[in-house]
Amino acid sequence: MTGPRVRSSAEQASATPPGWQTIGHDAASAMLLRALRNGRLAHAYLITGPQQIGRRSLALDLARAVNCEAGEVGDRPCGDCRQCQRITRGIHADVRIINPGTTIETEKVRGSDDTPMSRVIKKGHVDDLQHRASLKPFEGRTHVFVIDGAELMLAPAANALLKTLEEPEAQVLLVLLSSAPEELTDTIVSRCQRIDLRPVPAEVIERHLVERMKAEPATARILARASGGRPGWAVVALSDPTAIDGRRQSVMRIMGALTGSLDERFKYARMLAAEHRKDREAVYKELARWTAWWRDVLLVKHGIEGQVAHEDFKDQLVGVAGQVEPRDVVAAIRSIAATAEALEHNAMTPLVFEVLMLDMPRIDPATVPGVGTADDGEEWQDEE
Ligand SMILES: [Zn+2]
């Protein structure tokens, strides 16, 4: 039995303000809040980490913090004022998220063929940003530009952005988000303060789901462990009943392919190619699932089973781990990365997926419990 918690003064000093929404990145949050309170925020940040780990949440917390109307700096972001609310709702005129799907206003006027399918950030995006940055903020104190997928900037865009990074304006905060910072040029990286977000412990995500989002404890436990340390995934999955099922189907497809005959593998390869024509992102997610699967196999092989993302498939992981050597796993992960790379370069998709299937180690189905044939996973359902 515990009574109501009373915060110690040390806790109060380091506590996050009420409007701070980032889950589980305490060190990063504390560092940014300290900089905010001391008036020492950088002009540009580079937040790295995998999708849904909290990069965008942290960027938006910063956007709210620098525009919040709360009287005490230590109370920002309050989450309640007009500025905070408009940023949360995504309708604040001075806070803009730029990603490959963002329409470029200047090109739109000229009639560009820019489509949401585009997977790059062009110079036009940066020109647009620089034009907006040169104006006074419209409704808040500070322009915040979040470039989501900074590694997708084409060279002319990156060169143009350097100018903004080298001559920062007082009322402009740039936040670059990247899951592949090694693809950014050193000149860009060196001009940003870098914040690397690591996977959040499952217990922290579980607690957030139960206490803040009123999830059932059993559901929270599965989602927190399935999230791979990505709170964003767990939060989305909580409100999407198909997420768990979609994930299960994805694992079943992977197990089916690993234990299947060559015919079954090629059938799966054709299914990937067909899906790729309809929905590229779904295929990238499937490849990410493959990588996560092999990563888990490696963890099991090294006896670090407590950290696996597929805790609910532990028996299958152990079955697979018993049949492969670490070097097989590393080769498999490399092959998956090469597949993603080839897709980026518009390679012949059926062939690419067939090569992937030939590269995967064959697993004896008898050693993997509860796995049917590759046909089980034929129906495709998005997990996220
Ligand atoms: Zn506020």
* More confident position, 198 or 107: 198
Rounded (to 5) percent helix, strand, coil in the chain: 55, 5, 35
For residue 163, how far is its CA from the centre of ligand 1 (angstroms)?
A: 31
Of 122, 141, 153, give the one whose Cα is nearest residue 66: 141
For residue 262, how far is its CA from the centre of ligand 1 (angstroms)?
A: 58
For residue 84, how far is its CA from the centre of ligand 1 (angstroms)?
A: 4
| The overall pTM is greater than 0.75 | no
pLDDT at 24: 95
Q: Which residues, in sequence order, are CB contacts of 247 under 8 Å at separation 6+?
A: 226, 237, 289, 383
For residue 150, how far is its CA from the centre of ligand 1 (angstroms)?
A: 28
Q: Which domains does the chain have, with CATH numbers?
A: 9-196 (3.40.50.300), 240-377 (1.20.272)
With bands split at pLDDT 50, 70 and 90, how would you rate the model's confidence at 108?
low
- Ramachandran area for residue 149 (φ above 0: left; ψ -120 to 50: alpha; else beta): left
For residue 212, how far is its CA from the centre of ligand 1 (angstroms)?
A: 20
Q: Label the pairing between strands 143-148 and 44-48.
A: unpaired
Q: What is the DSSP letter of 102?
A: S
Classified as helix, coil or strand, 114 is coil
For residue 51, how far is its CA from the centre of ligand 1 (angstroms)?
A: 27
For 42-73, how does the pLDDT look when each residue is reduced to its tens digit (9 = 90+)? 999 999 998 899 999 999 999 999 999 999 99
Nearest-angstrom CA–CA distance, 75 and 71: 8
With bands split at pLDDT 50, 70 and 90, how would you rate the model's confidence at 107?
low
Q: Got the DSSP string for 225-242? A: HHTTT-HHHHHHHHT-HH
Range with the poorest average pLDDT among 89-93, 198-202, 295-299, 367-371: 367-371
* More confident position, 107 or 18: 18
For residue 93, how far is its CA from the centre of ligand 1 (angstroms)?
A: 15
For residue 189, how far is its CA from the centre of ligand 1 (angstroms)?
A: 30
Range with the poorest average pLDDT among 19-23, 111-115, 133-137: 111-115
Contact predicate 152/284, CB 8 Å: no
Contact predicate 42/170, CB 8 Å: no
For residue 20, how far is its CA from the centre of ligand 1 (angstroms)?
A: 10
For residue 64, how far is its CA from the centre of ligand 1 (angstroms)?
A: 7
For residue 103, how far is its CA from the centre of ligand 1 (angstroms)?
A: 28
Q: Count the helices and strands in the chain (H runs, E runs).
A: 17, 5
